[in-house]
Structure 1
Amino acid sequence: MSIAVPPTGDTYFPLLEAELLRWVGSGDSLLELACLDALFPPGKLLRPVLCMESAKAVGGTADQVLAFAAGIECLHVASLVHDDIIDQDPVRRGRASNAEQYGLAEALVAGDGRSMAGIAALLSPGPAEHVLQAARVAVQALRHMCQGIMRETEIRGDLTCGVPTVLNVMQAKTAVLTGAACQAGAILVGAIPHQHQANCRIQPWRWGHGCGRRLTPAWFSAPRRPAWRHRGPSTAVRPGPAAGEQDIRHPYHRHGSLHCDHPTRAPP
């Protein structure tokens, strides 16, 4: 399966693309296909790039943390797939979301599959002591993320929740994992906090937290879409586009292997 990646001069992109394929697969099964559909084309790859840059900042190399960085991206994208299900959002990164393309059950399983691939990648590189410490940082960040997602569901539509509450949700959903990616990159190559300070380097996870909070738009009061429509059995054939609509379905859909209860319109 050929994966298209946006042109970029950053050498991290092809490295990360190959590593993601190594952990997720090439699309030989429905699970792999759904996972790849959410991962590619990629977003900014902010978290894995920060992980690799943090390793370099404390004297390591990007190759030392490549698998871990890919694992962070898998876990991040898995959270986006589940987030789209919670928000009943049909679009992700200008394309049909996983749930819109494959159905709710399939998207849930694909999100879990990406999570498992991500965890496997986290546990693969480097000395066991460093890997375990870095994995703990990532898992703790994911626990905070789950708490933030649940808190978001509680305050959705509540315009009286207050700015501090919204900022706390932003930190839990976005900033914590961003910071964890930075911290893990440094840990994996053997750095510890007092070494950062002795070398007059900024502790990268603190920067990651600030970056994550600034990247998250305050869309928590947005209204929900109508409830997802039942798509019927998984063997149902997804219909083609109506007159005047652009067919942006994956080729797998065009062959009638998957289903959706309505065609996906191209983004404006």
Structure 2
Amino acid sequence: MNRVSSFLFWVALVAVLVFITLPIIVVLAASFSPTSEVTLDPRAWTFRWYGDLLHPRWLEPFWLSVKIAVIVSAISGLAGLMAAYAIVFERFPKSDVVMSFLLSPLSVPQIVKGVAVVLFISQLGLQQFLGTEALIAAHVVLTLPFVTRMVAGSIANFDRGLDQAAQILGAGRFDRLRFILLPLIKPGLLSGVTFAFIISFNNIPLSVFLVRPGDTTLPIKVINHLEYSLDPVMAAVNVASMIFILAAIFIFEKIGGFSAQLHGGSK
């Protein structure tokens, strides 16, 4: 029975891995294809589609997406840290209600949030802020729950005895926060910031309502391009975006070691 269970486990594992990696392999092969048809013969592959990514029509949306993602992750990281600290560490009255309020955007579909933001801006007569400003604000609303929840989990696992010992030794609130709490919850904070960066950079359902000519993010640019043509440059854009996201995750991991958060520890 154990052998049968082990065999079924490995079969299921291989099937899942194939299901995940096969689309990536197809997209990767398409990005090297000399024509719009996917060519699996490496001898016919070309890198010219990646050269097209250096054109301003792709570079400008890319840098705009990066700028928005950096700003959003910074704002969400700071706001999520302060909210989690107040809710979990200080435990003020009705903190559970505040936490539920901060996590409530997770229960609303992104398309609904996009429509709501557009209607809200229109009702206030602030249509001139549609574009980068509205994208940043909407993305913060979208990513803040992830950061808050991850930081709150790190603070919940924090050993309060360390804070009490530092307080007995004369450390002030700011010193205890800077030298004791922050270093120990850094994996949770960095994991939340990483999630915020990735979600903001790749967002489509929310961004599609808020972009304006001249302020188009890379995912929306890809969607607009697909309306008129389907060529290997789309595959090259997706492969380059995937490599960029993996590089960003690697950098965040080296800075904060947030993978330790997955094992309930700190690095």
* TM-based fold match above 0.5: no
Compare the two structures and name the one with the higher helix fraction: 2
Query: Structure 2-normalised TM-score?
Result: 0.31
